[in-house]
């Protein structure tokens, strides 16, 4: 049986994580892995999460199945959080997925049922899992222009020009905020233009929302989702609770579909359940239940929002500090974009050999496309990191 198979390559991030772990240098810096870290390098359990877990532990009376579409309280709270009153709820259906990836998987399975083999436009570059996920689902991925490596900003004219050529048979995957890997994002005015383009062409938006609250705040980061929901007749959103609730391993995600009307929504909802039943039958409950408890309790919710704000502010501060340190040392503004980007990542636009040199000579680890996780910037060694970056790019 297995003789027909080749060895599959692992996502490069897992290889890098192993290399970092094996590096004996004490001054090594991990800007690679895509998880939030505090100043001690730990990915903390949020205090609201600990309290919600204690409450669940105290009150839970059963571990029986929760249902094919998952924890309904969780899904409803996520729709409130993401969409607020931007869309009539009779048109919305949800299902819980195992993480944001699981939510995305449910949605693209459904899209491939609706339009087998349809073209899915993906930003260039994008989260490395997007392309293979589309292929595995049977869809046809293609890139639209997004990041300009010269300005390290979004090449919005090129992006919009491509979106304008699409039609009702096309799907467009958009990062709702905190673009991964680039950190370069659309302004609200640019989202308005994207919404107008999609409404005009009929292309179908699929939003990946993995970092709500990591960019400019819960409301600001929901702008794209709400704007599109109020502008187009049909769309989908894959929400992840991994980063903003720090629940990575608990796999809490929510698949949201918006249909033209209630009858259409019922069909989409039934199809989501059907996909889930044949895929993994039911999602895991623990992470979703934690999020439900937090969002439904005003005190826990306030505590979570405050902690999320602290994480966001810390990442912003690290961005500004690194950009300032580089400016001070080089007298040039080349790296100011780091402070202008938002979310957890920035794509530095370095050549592969420079990235390799930073790793081998200085113990500075980043993904080989030069994506850095800003939460990994050591606050007390920002100057050292700045000089490593400058030295490596000068060689």
Which among 23-31, 42-50, 96-104, 301-309 is the span making contact with ligand PMP, rule CB under 6 A? Answer: 96-104
279 vs 387, which CB is nearer to ligand PMP?
279
Catalytic residue check, 243: yes
We find the least distance from the C-beta atom of residue 271 to ligand PMP, in angstroms, to be 21
Exactly one of 32, 70, 99, 246 binds ligand PMP (CB under 6 A); that residue is 99
Residue 100 found at the interface with ligand PMP (CB under 6 A): yes
Find the catalytic residue in 95, 118, 127, 224: 127
208 vs 234, which CB is nearer to ligand PMP?
208
Distance CA 186, CA 188 (A): 7
Residues 6+ away with beta carbon under 8 Å from 224: 174, 176, 177, 186, 191, 194, 207
Distance CA 173, CA 236 (A): 10
248 vs 280, which CB is nearer to ligand PMP?
248
User: Strand 119-124 relative to strand 140-145: parallel, antiparallel, unpaired?
Assistant: parallel
Residue 303 found at the interface with ligand PMP (CB under 6 A): no
109 vs 393, which CB is nearer to ligand PMP?
109
Q: What is the DSSP string of 46-77?
A: PHHHHHHHHHHHHH--------TT--HHHHHH
Binding mask 189-218 for ligand PMP (x = CB under 6 A): -------------------x-x--------
Distance CA 295, CA 302 (A): 9
We find the least distance from the C-beta atom of residue 85 to ligand PMP, in angstroms, to be 26
We find the least distance from the C-beta atom of residue 34 to ligand PMP, in angstroms, to be 5
Exactly one of 69, 197, 231, 242 binds ligand PMP (CB under 6 A); that residue is 242
121 vs 210, which CB is nearer to ligand PMP?
210
70 vs 393, which CB is nearer to ligand PMP?
70
Find the catalytic residue in 30, 208, 221, 285: 208
We find the least distance from the C-beta atom of residue 176 to ligand PMP, in angstroms, to be 9
Answer for the pair 127, 13: CB distance below 8 angstroms, yes or no.
no
Is 274 exposed, middle or buried (CB count within 10 Å of its CB: 0-12, 13-18, 19+)?
A: middle
- CB 5: neighbour CB atoms within 10 A? 7
Residue 274 in tokens: 């059907």
Residue 373 found at the interface with ligand PMP (CB under 6 A): no
Q: What is the DSSP string of 207-253?
A: EEES-TTSSS-HHHHTHHHHHHHTT-S-EEEEEE-TTTTT-GGG-EE
Catalytic residue check, 208: yes
Exactly one of 96, 180, 244, 373 binds ligand PMP (CB under 6 A); that residue is 180
Number of residues that bind ligand PMP (CB under 6 A): 13
We find the least distance from the C-beta atom of residue 238 to ligand PMP, in angstroms, to be 7
Residue 240 found at the interface with ligand PMP (CB under 6 A): yes
Residues 6+ away with beta carbon under 8 Å from 42: none
At 25 the three-state DSSP class reads coil
Supply φ then ψ for residue 81, to 5 degrees.
-65, -45
Catalytic residue check, 131: no
Catalytic residue check, 127: yes
Is 186 exposed, middle or buried (CB count within 10 Å of its CB: 0-12, 13-18, 19+)?
A: buried
We find the least distance from the C-beta atom of residue 100 to ligand PMP, in angstroms, to be 3
- CB 280: neighbour CB atoms within 10 A? 15
131 vs 248, which CB is nearer to ligand PMP?
248
In the range 106-145, which residues lie near ligand PMP by CB under 6 A? 127
Give residues in contact with ligand PMP (CB under 6 A): 34, 99-101, 127, 175, 180, 208, 210, 240, 242, 248, 253
User: Which positions are catalytic?
Assistant: 127, 208, 210, 243
């Amino acid at each position: 049986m297995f003789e027909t198979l080749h060895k599959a390559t692992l996502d490069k991030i897992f290889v890098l994580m192993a290399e970092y772990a094996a590096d004996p240098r004490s001054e090594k810096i991990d800007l690679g892995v895509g998880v939030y870290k505090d100043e001690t390098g730990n990915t903390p359990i949020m205090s609201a999460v600990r309290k919600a877990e204690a409450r669940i532990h105290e009150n839970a009376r059963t571990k029986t199945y929760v249902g094919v579409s998952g924890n309904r309280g969780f899904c409803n709270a996520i729709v409130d959080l993401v969409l607020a009153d931007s869309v009539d709820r009779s048109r919305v259906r949800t299902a819980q997925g195992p993480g944001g990836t699981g939510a995305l998987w449910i949605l693209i399975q459904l899209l491939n049922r609706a339009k087998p083999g349809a073209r899915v436009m993906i930003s260039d570059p994008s989260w490395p899992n997007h392309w293979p996920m589309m292929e595995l689902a049977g869809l046809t991925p293609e890139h639209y222009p997004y990041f300009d490596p010269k300005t390290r900003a979004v090449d919005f004219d090129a992006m919009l020009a491509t979106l304008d050529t699409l039609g009702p048979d096309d799907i467009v995957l958009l990062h709702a905020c905190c673009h991964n890997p680039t950190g370069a994002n659309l302004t609200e005015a640019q989202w308005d233009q994207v919404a107008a383009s999609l409404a005009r062409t009929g292309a179908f938006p699929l939003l990946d929302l993995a970092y709500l609250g990591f960019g400019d705040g819960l409301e600001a980061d929901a702008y794209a989702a709400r704007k599109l929901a109020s502008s187009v007749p049909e769309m989908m959103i894959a929400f992840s609770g991994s980063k903003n609730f720090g629940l990575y391993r608990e796999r809490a995600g929510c698949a949201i579909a918006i249909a033209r009307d209630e009858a259409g929504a019922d069909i989409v909802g039934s199809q989501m359940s059907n996909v889930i039943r044949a895929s993994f039958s039911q999602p895991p409950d623990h992470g979703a239940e934690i999020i439900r408890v937090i969002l439904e309790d005003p005190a826990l919710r306030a505590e979570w929002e405050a902690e999320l704000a602290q994480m966001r502010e810390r990442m912003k501060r690290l961005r500004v500090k690194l950009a300032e340190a580089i400016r001070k040392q080089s007298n040039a503004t080349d790296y100011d974009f780091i402070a202008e980007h938002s979310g957890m990542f920035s794509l530095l636009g370095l050549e592969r050999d420079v990235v390799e040199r930073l790793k081998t000579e200085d113990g500075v680890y980043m993904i080989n496309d030069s994506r850095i996780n800003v939460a990994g910037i050591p606050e007390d060694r920002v100057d050292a990191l700045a000089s490593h970056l400058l030295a490596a790019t000068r060689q």
